[in-house]
Amino acid sequence: MLSVTAAAEYLGVSKRTIRRMIHAGHLKAYRIRRRGMIRVTRTDLDDMLYEVKPGDVQP
């Protein structure tokens, strides 16, 4: 499991973006009970990525 910081680095986005994704329900997160730290799985991060086809990109 990855911290919010590590997840942000993995996707190349800010920690704030990761927290927004979690809050919006786009990214599943887990809280470690005693410490209150938030963790996400690499699998859930990878599931957010998708292939962009040539016709999908607007100039």
Q: Give the amino acid at 18.
A: I
Q: Which one has a higher pLDDT value, 59 or 17? A: 17
Give the architecture-level CATH label for domain 2-52.
Answer: Orthogonal Bundle (1.10)
Q: Where are the domains of the chain?
A: 2-52
Contact between 2 and 42 under an 8 Å Cβ cutoff? The reply is yes
Quote the pTM value: 0.80
- pLDDT tens digit sequence for 45-54: 999 888 777 7
- pLDDT tens digit sequence for 1-42: 999 999 999 999 999 999 999 999 999 999 988 778 999 999
Contact between 27 and 10 under an 8 Å Cβ cutoff? The reply is no
